[in-house]
Structure 1
Amino acid sequence: MSGSVRHFKLVLLGDTAVGKSCLVVRFVRDEFFEFQEPTIGAAFLTQSVQLDSSVVKFEIWDTAGQERYRSLAPMYYRGASAAIVVFDLSNKESYNGAKSWVKAYAEENNILYLETSAKNAANVKNLFVEIAKKLPQQAMQQEREQGFTISPPKQEKKSCC
């Protein structure tokens, strides 16, 4: 891997047992397990994506979806560069609840919306590559907007006594 390395925090959000951990394990280790132990609190994994001239290193927080851990979610997604909302297409309640508002919001705000499958690996790598492409662009735009000021050095006043 050559070029610059950019670090970005990602967080996976969604109800319990929708496949958040399966998605991350598929991306990081290229493995899939029919039964995945529920995440307690959150799990942390890293994985890099090589782009043309740089490397994007993801710091991935896989959050627990159980109701009792929901109050912890803000602690994990604070400072995240991107959030991946995960839902289970085979679970109508999970699918309908998340898809309708996420898709509408994504369309209104020009945000990536992509359906994936950890089980058959459909769009898993593409999801992270697309995020990797967008994040450096956003970071560069923010740096341009914030800018910086160049001012002459302050001259010291000298006294003789």
Structure 2
Amino acid sequence: MSSRRGSEGTKGRGGGGGASQGVSTKMHNVKLVLLGDVGVGKSSIALRFVRGEFTDNTETTVGAAFLTQTVSVSAQSIKFDIWDTAGQERYHSLAPMYYRGAQAAVVVYDVCSQKSFQKAVSWVKELRQQANSQIIMVLAGNKADMAADKRAVHREDAQAFADDNGMFFTETSAKTGMCVGDVFMAIAQKLASHRQIDHIDGPSSLKLGSDSGKEKKSGCC
């Protein structure tokens, strides 16, 4: 298992936002796992969020990599312990080690690959069956910067799947930073606004930049 440890910050970078600017009075650790097929950009999403960096030649993750990032929201500091898992099939059996006990999961697919979307669907089903029943799940369609010319997964289909499974959905681009930070901030806001740091009520649609009770079924940024 590789251990690529990231720096900590006061809020997510690379497209993030919405963090409270006040002084945080509480610190909470949140275990978050990134799941998805090989090559969808899980590591790039993690590095964009943690370090604000992107490289076209990210090394393939072996086993899993570990990074951390701290965000401030609603007078609370939330430290994400991020497990970036390998997408190769030979490492699939190791995945339960990382999503077991996780409070949040970001399931990533490539908007230019139907195969990767089907893999994401499979991951969601596995999480439903084996992970914490109260885990917050996010579906992220990465490489949105390439969608205009190479899109293979219609946004409407991904949105419908997310809605059916009570997940927040958005399309992201680790390359440009589009909506990457917002994914993590939405999770942080959900945890903070519903006081779910220690006891998560269950999967539900998340909202970007809002703690209101209105459900938001779509959108990015």
Amino acid at match of 2:89: E
1:79 to 92, 98, 101: 101
Count of residues in Structure 1 that have an aligned counterpart in Structure 2 = 144
The correspondence of residues 28-39 of structure 1 with structure 2, limited to 5 A, is 28-39=50-61
Aligned pair 1:90/2:108, yes or no? no
Pick one of 179, 194, 197 that aligns with 1:123. Answer: 179
Q: What TM-score, normalized by structure 2, do the two folds share?
A: 0.59
8 Å CA contact 1:9, 1:80 repeated in 2 = yes
Shift of 1:98: 3.0
1:1-161 mapped onto 2 (5 Å cutoff): 1-95=23-117, 97-98=119-120, 103-104=159-160, 106-136=162-192, 137=194, 139=196, 142=199
Match of 1:17, SS state, is coil
| Structure possessing the higher radius of gyration over alpha carbons | 1
Q: CA deviation at 1:105?
A: 5.1
Letter in 1 for 2:52: D
How many Å separate the matches in 2 of 1:104 and 1:127? 18
Distance 1:142 1:98 in 2: 26
| Residue pair 1:81, 1:135 contacting (<8 A) in 2 also | no
Q: Deviations over 1:22-72 (max 9, x none)?
A: 000000000000011100000000001111311111000000000110000
Higher relative contact order (CA 8 A, sep 6+): 1
SS of 1:71's equivalent? helix
For 2:59 and 2:105, the matched residues in 1 are separated by: 22
Taking a change above 3 Å as real, the CA distance of residues 143 and 41 of structure 1, as seen in their structure-2 partners, is closer
Tell me the SS of whatever aligns to 2:92.
helix
- Greater helix share, structure number: 1
Task: Flag structure 1 segments of 5+ consecutive residues without an equivalent.
Answer: 145-161
Q: Assess if the C-alpha contact under 8 Å between 2:37 and 2:120 holds in 1.
A: no
Percent of paired sites with the same residue: 50
Q: Which runs of 5+ in 2 are unaligned?
A: 1-22, 125-138, 140-158, 202-221
CA RMSD of aligned residues (A): 2.4
